[in-house]
Every structure is written in C-alpha cells, then in structure tokens.
C-alpha cells in the first residue's frame, strides 16, 4: 500500500462508503500481493504482513462480508 503513496486508514476509510473505490482497492490488493505466500491464512497476515482481502478476512472483526459482497469476488 505504501508503494502507492496511500495510508491504509485513508484507503480503507474511503472504502467504507465508496463501492467503486472498494472494488479498485480489492483488485489492486489481489494483483499486488505476493504470489509466493499462502493467502487466506492468519499466519500470512500476521507474519508476512499481507493485507490482501483473503488474509484480512482471517482476522476477527475484519469484514469477510465486505469481500464477499464485491461483484468480482467469486
């Protein structure tokens, strides 16, 4: 995320009310994530600091629902 010059708080804050932004953010994270990691694991979130939608969805209080409601999510 820092590579894009954006703070997480700003990006995710906007994602709460802007569905188009949220979809773009989701796409960027899926494209930008490290393909050598196993995603969708709490370990990857915690130890590799991956913040892709699949890894974030493993965290308590994190919105798996937000990921599922996206039109391009399977």
# residues near Zn ion by CB under 5 A: 5
> Which DSSP state fits 40?
S
Q: Is 55 exposed, middle or buried (0-12, 13-18, 19+ CB in 10 A)?
A: buried
> Among residues 59, 27, 26, which one has the least CA distance to residue 40?
59
Structure tokens at 32: 């930008």
Residue 56 contacts residue 45 (beta carbons within 8 Å): yes
List the one residue from 50, 61, 62, 71 that touches Zn ion (CB under 5 A).
50
Single residue of 15, 25, 55, 57 touching Zn ion by CB under 5 A: 55
> Is residue 52 within the footprint of Zn ion (CB under 5 A)?
yes
At its nearest, how many Å lie between Zn ion and the CB of residue 64? Answer: 13
Q: Which of 39, 43, 47, 74 binds Zn ion (CB under 5 A)?
A: 39
Write down the least CB distance from residue 8 to Zn ion, Å: 14
């Amino acid at each position: 995320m820092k590579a894009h010059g954006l703070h997480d708080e700003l990006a995710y804050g906007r994602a709460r009310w802007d569905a188009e932004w949220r979809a773009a953010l989701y796409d960027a994270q899926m494209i930008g994530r490290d393909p050598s990691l196993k995603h969708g694991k709490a370990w990857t979130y915690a130890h590799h600091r991956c913040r892709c939608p699949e890894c974030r969805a493993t965290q308590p209080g994190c919105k798996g629902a937000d990921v599922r409601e996206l039109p391009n999510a399977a």
